Amino acid sequence: MRLRDEFHGLVQRLAGHRPSAEDERLVALFRNRAELKKELSALDDERHRLLDRLKLQEGATMRVEEQFAALEQYLGRAEEGYKSLAYFQLKALWRAASKRLEQFAAELTRQQQDRERRQQLAEFERSKRARIADVDRELVEARVLADQLQAEQKLGHQRLNELGGFWNYFRRRRLAETLATRAARLEAAQTVVTDLGDARHEVDSEPAPTFEGLSLEGRRAVNLAIIACAESLCDRLADGGLAGLAHQTTLRRVYESDFGGQDDCLELMGRATRAAADLEKRADDLADIKARTDRLRRTVTYRGVADTIPAQDSVLPADESTRPQATPNVLLEEYFEVYSVLLR
C-alpha cells in the first residue's frame, strides 16, 4: 500500500501537481532523519577518539607512576642521596644555561628584526623619493608647456580681436583654427598636469610595506650567533667537565647516574652552584661570540638553498690546541636545547 502511495505521489509530481502537506512533512522528516544520522556518526567518531586519548593518557600516567616508584626506591637508600642531589644540581645548571641561551636568542632575533625593518623602511623611503623626483620632473615640464600654451593662447586671442574689417576675414579664420588646435593641446597639457599631481600625491601618501619577517640571510645569521653562544656557554662550563656532566642529565635518569662518593658529590654540587651563579651575574662575552660566529660563517654549509640551520657535520670547533678541553659540537649533541631556539 505504501509503495502504491509513493508511486501515486511521484506521478502527481511528474504531472505538475504540487505535493500535499503530508508529502512535504514526510520529506522533512526523512531529511531530519538523515541529519540526525550524520550527527550520531560524528558523535560516535568523537567518542572513539576520546577513548583512544584516554587509553594513551592512562598509559602515560602508568609510566609516570612506575618512574616515581623506582625513584622512591632509589631515594630510599641513604648512600644514593648525595648522587641525587648532585644530579638535580647539574640539571638545574643545564636549565640555567638553556634559559640564558633562550634569552640571548630572543634578544638577538629582536635586534635583527629591528635592523631589517629599518633597512626595509630606508629602502622604501629612497624608492619613494626617487619616484617623487621623477614625477616632479615630468610635472615641471608639463606645467612649463601648459603655461607656454596658455600665454600663446592669450596672445592669439588678443591678435584675433585686433583683426577687424572684411579684408582680414581669411586671416581671422586661419587664426581661429590655430586657436582651436592650441586650445585642444592646452586642455591635454592641463590634464597631464592634473594627472601628474594626482600621481605625486598617490606616491607621497603610499603606506610603508608590512614586515613579513626575517630574511633567509637574517635567520641564518641569528642561528650562527646562537650556535656560537652555545659554544661560549660550553667553554664557560668547561671547568671539571660541568657542561658534559650537565648534558648527561638529559640522557640518563637519576638512578642511572654515578658521580662518585659523598665528597665527590659535594664538590661537584659546589662547582655547579658557582657556575649557575656565574651565569646569572656575568654578561655574555660578545667579542668571543662574534669571533665564533665569523668562524662558523666561513665553515658551515647548508643542505638546501632554503635551509636556515647548517648541517651538523659542518659545525667544526675552533682550534683547540690552546684549550684544556675541546668544545663539543653543540648542534650535533643538542647542547642547552639549542634546536628549540633556532629560527626555521
Torsions phi, psi for 66 (to 5 deg): -65, -40
Query: Both 227 and 330 in a single domain?
Result: yes
The three grid cell numbers given for residue 8, joined into one nine-digit string = 501515486
Number of domains in the chain: 3
9-23, 53-67, 112-126, 308-322: least confident range: 9-23
Residue 79 in domain: no
Within-domain flag for 82: no
pLDDT at 235 over 80: yes
Interval 10-37 mean pLDDT: 66
In whole angstroms, what is the distance from residue 318 CA to residue 47 CA? Answer: 57
Residue 30 lies in a domain: yes
Q: Are 67 and 254 in contact (CB under 8 A)?
A: no
Asked if residue 279 and residue 332 are part of one domain, the reply reads: yes
Do 114 and 131 fall into the same domain? no
159 lies in the same domain as 137: yes
In SS3 terms, 193-211 reads as: HHHHHHHHHHHHCCCCCCC
Q: Please indicate, yes or no, whether residues 113 and 133 belong to a single structural domain of this protein.
A: no
Kindly tell me if the per-residue pLDDT of 322 is higher than 60.
no
Residue pLDDT, tens place only, 149-188: 888 888 988 887 887 777 777 787 887 888 888 888 888 8
CB–CB of 201/65 below 8 Å? no
Instruction: Pick 77 or 334 by higher pLDDT.
Output: 334
Q: How far apart are CA 204 and CA 304, in angstroms?
A: 41
Q: What are the tens digits of pLDDT across the range 31-62?
A: 777 788 888 888 888 888 888 888 888 888 88
Asked if residue 176 and residue 321 are part of one domain, the reply reads: no
pLDDT of residue 341: 95
For the cut 60, the answer to whether the pLDDT of residue 104 exceeds it is yes
Do 227 and 316 have their domain in common?
A: yes
pLDDT band for position 8 (cuts 50, 70, 90): low
Q: Tens of pLDDT along 146-159?
A: 898 888 888 988 88
Q: Are residues 15 and 103 in the same domain?
A: no
Residues 6+ apart with CB under 8 A from 102: 337, 340, 341
Whether residue 11 has pLDDT greater than 70: no
State the pLDDT at residue 74.
Answer: 62
Residue 262 domain-assigned? Answer: yes
Q: Of 337, 255, 237, give the one whose Cα is nearest residue 75.
A: 255
Is the same domain home to 145 and 266?
no
Domain that includes residue 171, residue range: 127-204
pLDDT of residue 84: 82
Asked if the structure places residue 166 within a domain, the reply is yes
For residue 84, being part of any structural domain is answered with no
Task: Burial-class residue 175 by CB neighbours within 10 Å (0-12, 13-18, 19+).
Answer: middle
* pLDDT higher than threshold 60 for residue 15: no
Task: Answer with the one of 204, 231, 254 that is the final residue of a domain.
Answer: 204
Asked whether residue 62 is domain-assigned, the answer is: yes
Task: In whole angstroms, give the CA distance from residue 66 to residue 68.
Answer: 5
* pLDDT (0 to 100) of residue 1: 47
The half-sphere exposure of 258 on its side-chain side, counting CA atoms within 13 A, is: 2
Q: How many CB atoms lie within 10 A of CB 83?
A: 23
**What pLDDT, in 10s, does the model give residues 109-148?**
999 999 999 999 999 999 999 999 999 999 999 889 889 8
pTM above 0.75, yes or no: no
Do 314 and 250 lie in a common domain?
yes
Residue 75 has pLDDT above 70, yes or no: no
For 53, the grid coordinates are: 586519548
